[in-house]
Amino acid sequence: MNTEPDFLDIFQTAVKDLPHGVDLLHNPMLNKGTAFTLAEREKLSLHGLLPPCATTQEMQVQRIMGNFNMKPNDLEKYIFLMALEDRNENLFYRVVMENLETMMPIIYTPTVGKACQTYGHIFRRPRGLYISANFRGRVAELLANWPYEDVRVIVMTDGERILGLGDLGADGMGIPVGKLSLYTACAGINPSQTLPLTLDVGTNNVQLLNDPLYIGLKQNRLRGDEYDAFIDEFVTAAQARFPKALIQFEDFANINAFRLLKKYRNRILTFNDDIQGTASVTLAGLYSALRITGQALKDQTIVFLGAGEAGIGIADLIVSAMVEEGATKEEARQQCWFIDSKGLVVKSRENLAQHKLAYAHDHEPLPDLLSVVKNLHPTALIGVSGRPKKFTQPIVEAMAKHNERPIIFALSNPTANSECTAEEAYTWTNGRAIFASGSPFEPVTLHGKTYIPGQGNNAYIFPGVGLGVVACEATNVPDEMFSAAAKTLAAMVSEDDLDMGRVYPPLTSIRKVSAAIATAVAQIAYDKGLARAPKQEDLRAFIESEMYQPTYQSYTDA
């Protein structure tokens, strides 16, 4: 998103203002590598620093893909791509955008999970900002070290709940880095306007504390009032330094995620992707699935395996959507049931966490998922447990017994944590399951028909939402924006997609999806009086015109 002159525009006022020589080659925003023309090399003191043959960006892409395909495993491919991003951002995004279905599983889930687990061991060059608890009282000073003034999107984590992998501390930086790569690739937010950020408050992961190569603070996590004061200091300093920036909370543990969202959502421009983004993409998948079954959302009985921030966030948005269809809030909540580590969440259970209370219903206790499915006869089963293989064959077969087209969403990430595979869901239901997963699965052929499983990837949602609030300079992000994003995404699923079993559009269309979601989100901001930027006559055209494109710009005319 280019709402103000970007880094290159600033330097292009005159050739003398551009970095020259090796300084230019070491600047990933400006570097073109072998694609510098002979005229540019002459003006910018690059002769001799590059091999004499000037190439095109297309030829560079060919070289990158050749090297990428020679890497022996996905982690090595991840390392290779991050190195490319470190030296030439335009080329990195050109490669990613032209090969999105290949690249997304590498730069984000599932490979980013493995990268975070080994982050201190594969660490090369820092990206983003690390603000540690040792700098309490000096957060504004650290934010001032960031070289770009017009930051519009900050993705921030404290590393306590990275994907389904748990507490990875400062090694969780791979998540903000990956998320912001998707903001640019999928929605055209200019990379110079993004800031990956880790608040390092320590870690309770003993393995990391004992690892000599761990990159974070070697101390137990900050808790209580000191933790809250540190978060508050950051939010205040970030608003002062980057007053138009969206702050996205990412991979915070349940003990902090819900209460921090509640605390800040109406005070600043923020959302929690694990709660709200996951909810939106799941609701979109349900809307698509119901086009197959021909049923109404308010008539569904939905069972969630996992009662954390993802599950509760999904249920809350589903309840809002059911209310839109005519149900009362209480009726809608009665359609959503949760299973946690102790079994079915029921009202008679003592010491329930605050976030579970709204979904604790009057029912006899049931110990496990199979007994719940047999007793409640749900139409949809949503896995957000972070625990693999929990949708067993008896459970999936029980879903198929009571539903002609059972909806089975195994959403836990990464792939190794999925509640079941696509092949299992289709095989155990004789091809009748409507399946989606958090991480990608290969197509499945059964009885001569090929099914393409949908991936409930938050990348369908958060980049478009971010693009919309940035475009209109929104002041906050109400839930209506995520409802609109879900409807917009579902509307872009074709009948051919549904026939193949896919409840989301192909990833190749994701920039169109993001532009459509951004338009819907910005329109809500204008309708609710939340936008600071003047409204453009053709909002969609304006948003599309502002989306970053990874093309090289000429320096010869500067």
Catalytic residue flag (residue 108): yes
DSSP letter (8 states) at residue 222? P
Tally Cβ neighbours within 10 Å of residue 397.
Answer: 15
CA distances from 425 to 135, 374, 383 (A): 49, 17, 13
Rounded distance, CA 513 to CA 533, Å?
Answer: 23
Lookup result for tokens 């493995």: 114
Rounded distance, CA 403 to CA 549, Å?
Answer: 46
Q: Order of strands across the sheet with 407-410?
A: 343-344, 336-340, 302-305, 380-383, 407-410, 434-437, 454-455
CB 249 within 8 A of CB 261: yes
CA distances from 199 to 106, 132, 149 (A): 24, 6, 20
Q: In terms of residues, how long is the chain?
A: 558
Catalytic residue flag (residue 179): yes
CB 300 within 8 A of CB 379: yes
Strand (E) or helix (H) holding 286: helix 278-293
Rounded distance, CA 28 to CA 6, Å?
Answer: 14
193: nearest Cα among 202, 204, 183: 183
Given 32, 77, 114, 179, the catalytic residue: 179
Q: Order of strands across the sheet with 270-272?
A: 129-132, 194-200, 153-157, 246-249, 270-272
Lookup result for tokens 């939905």: 302
| Interior angle at CA 429, CA 427 and CA 432, nearest 5 | 110
Rg, C-alpha atoms of the chain: 24
Given 78, 108, 214, 451, the catalytic residue: 108
Instruction: Supply the residues annotated as catalytic.
Output: 108, 179
